[in-house]
Structure 1
């Protein structure tokens, strides 16, 4: 078995699990997708536009997540896996290119590319895994993607039912993953069959979140470059940078660097934590995307009042913080009080500045995020003050 094709495709579980060059290359498609999604939300920041953007983001995230999970199992240097990643990347680029006009005539491109990615993965892996127990796992997943694929294609063809059918397909796919893809006659996958390398998946989550923050900085920089570089736009650009730094710090501390260790400590059941982390990262990236759009609107027209900017500018950070709180809870059982207070504080601050210029609203949100970072850091600062340093040790020994 080890000498056959399945054995050559699979990674050893003791592999350190570092992301390969090809996986990072694949992430370029997601960078493009985020820029297209932010453009779609900017064009229509209403509730309906936000819901449509969320549907497209959830579909693109599922492509990224399932690919990251697959790359955790298979050797990215194997020619067949290289083909699979490139196939998925091209399909993701097609989906991203269609994003701005999905609901204006190019829904079929988006849907067919999405279905082709998942069924193409099955077409590549199932024959290659012949004789290996993981072949049945891949078959279960493929059957359900074929079923949900009908909803995607019909939704693309039937405009009035598009949002409903696509939302139903996404709920089904996300739920079936948590249920381990059960299907009559094929059973359901066991947790050992779904076991992942915690180091690898945790690193991939961090990389894709940095990409989301990079999109925020990129869009802010491009918008500021074309704004005339006046005083208000400069202040707005500075607020965008401060917001990005605060989000990065709140993501990494405290549990951002401990996710991988926790997954490894759990063993096969750690796959449940990996899946939950995937769902929560979707929400966090949605929050960063909304924040990016709000900052772009602020830099472009800092002195104007815009309901859409206030809405996305409040919802974005609130979504990010809520998901980040839950991630800390599932990783180490902590409930950071500053963040718990921060969510309603952002909402109240947004309501209080609802009739103010966009610059004021962005300043309030950035201020709340900085306060959360400060209160988060206070316990560590107290420890550094009260605990003796190395230079104090000889003095204490001489007089102790």
Structure 2
């Protein structure tokens, strides 16, 4: 991974913060759904460039110029995301986001097609996928010109076409060829680290100037412990073991693991982290009495969904990641993920600090389960490492 790719990821991070700004501290079901749609849009843009950077050097020649254009488009989309569902002063926010996304995808497909000449059949595969993607841009642009439910429905349809088209392309022509497993796993691990960092930033935003008050500081430390548990559950064993599975894999199996376990499943992990960060932010805002609160209010249903639902989505995504990379799942891991979701009603009944503390205990239990004797797993020997891996 190069500094230029890290620069691209930093623009992606900025877009994540803008999605969180759209949802806001007083999250509602509407803003949470709107944020989710934009997060899917953002993820597929980032993921497509990760595959491109795995295929060819991102910091060299024509590709670097294209990446810079894409970064500019991503930056514009990020700036406009808080206005992605409403028209305000200046340029139309929804149309600006839609056009920036189309530019991102066009540049990606053009660069991938230009650099794919050394792989037989890859250019035909890219043209097939480009035709499907272009069909998805139609409802995206039409939705930007409308408002209300029509806007939302058309944008959802656009992303369904993109996702469905990708799966259809995989089924008919195979997954994208992966050249460097090391590069691919490193990029996904880095972006997950960045998302986890956002949960720490959210704690500071929620606490505001009241962070030095002992109760607020204590709750902030609980939020830190929650984030540390999420890190542990992926980076201590699951992530490294998956990398050891992907590196020696070859052919279609290698490409499928990369597409399913990383390009698809990591969206669940990132989404879970972002919504959990929003939940932590709202807990701290209530404890600190920010925005006129009295410090004794309860979480709203939306905040509880963000807190416990985000954790449940992360744990569920991790289970899928384990399964797709051939790691054992067992019975206790699904139970912990299900319990996180079942605690949703409890989140609105308990004081916010207690709700966060309960989640912290659940995640500590999940970490404890991973540390039990016999839980460490090593992938079976699968033969020599793939000759196409340059990572």
Work out whether the TM-score is over 0.5.
yes
- Measured at CA, do residues 340 and 129 of structure 1 come closer, stay the same or move farther in structure 2, by a change above 3 Å? closer
1:36-68 deviation digits (Å, cap 9, x = unpaired): 112222355222222111100000000100000
Structure 1 unaligned residues grouped into runs of 5+: 1-18, 183-187, 384-400
Structure 1 residue matching 2:240: 3-state secondary structure: coil
Matched, 1:136 2:124: yes
Q: Is the 8 A contact 1:196 1:271 kept in 2?
A: no
Is structure 2 residue 259 aligned with structure 1 residue 275? Answer: yes
2:16 equivalent to 1:22 = no
Pairwise CA distance, 1:336:
4.0
CA contact (8 A) 1:338 1:376 kept: no
Pairs aligned (count): 359
8 A Cα contact 2:25 2:278, kept in partner = no
> Is 2:69 the partner of 1:84?
no
Match of 2:217 in 1: 234
Instruction: Give the Cα separation in 1 of the matches to 2:115 and 2:182.
Output: 26
State the SS of the aligned residue for 1:256: helix
Instruction: Give the structure-1-normalised TM-score.
Output: 0.84
Residues 170-209 of structure 1 mapped to structure 2, 5 A cutoff: 170-180=159-169, 188-191=172-175, 194-209=177-192
Residue of structure 2 in register with 1:64 after alignment: 46
- Structure 2: state its 5+ residue gaps: 88-92, 288-295, 378-391
Q: Indicate the residue corresponding to 1:49 in structure 2.
A: 31
Question: Quick check: 2:12–2:74 contact (8 Å CA) kept in 1?
Answer: yes
For residues 281-296 of structure 1, the aligned pairs below 5 Å read 281-296=266-281
Judge conservation of contact 2:102–2:137 (CA < 8 Å) in 1.
yes
CA distance in 2, matches of 1:288, 1:128: 34
**Distance (Å, rounded) in 2 between the aligned partners of 1:347 and 1:146:** 37
Q: Is the 8 A contact 1:144 1:181 kept in 2?
A: no
Residue 237 of structure 2 corresponds to: 254
Task: Name the structure 2 match of 1:120.
Answer: 107
Structure 1 window deviating more from structure 2 (211-220 vs 301-310): it is 301-310
Structure 2 SS opposite 1:275: helix
Is the 1:255–1:331 Cα contact (8 Å) retained in structure 2? Answer: no
Give me the CA root mean square deviation: 2.3
Answer yes or no: is the 8 Å Cα contact 1:254–1:328 preserved in 2.
no
Task: Give the secondary-structure state (helix, strand or coil) at the position aligned to 1:332.
Answer: coil
1:250 Cα deviation from its structure 2 partner: 0.7
Secondary structure at 1:226 match in 2 = helix
Larger-gyration structure (1/2): 1
Distance 1:347 1:129 in 2: 44
Alpha-carbon distance in structure 2 between the residues aligned to 1:272 and 1:306: 41
Q: Which residue of 2 aligns with 1:149?
A: 137
148, 154, 158: which is aligned to 1:169? Answer: 158
Alignment-derived partner of residue 314 in structure 1: 308
Aligned to 1:391: none
What is the distance in 2 between the residues matched to 1:139 and 1:115?
16
Asked whether the 8 Å contact 1:212–1:289 carries over to 2, the reply is: yes
Report Cα offsets for 1:15-42 as digits up to 9, x if no partner. Answer: xxxx111111100111111111122223
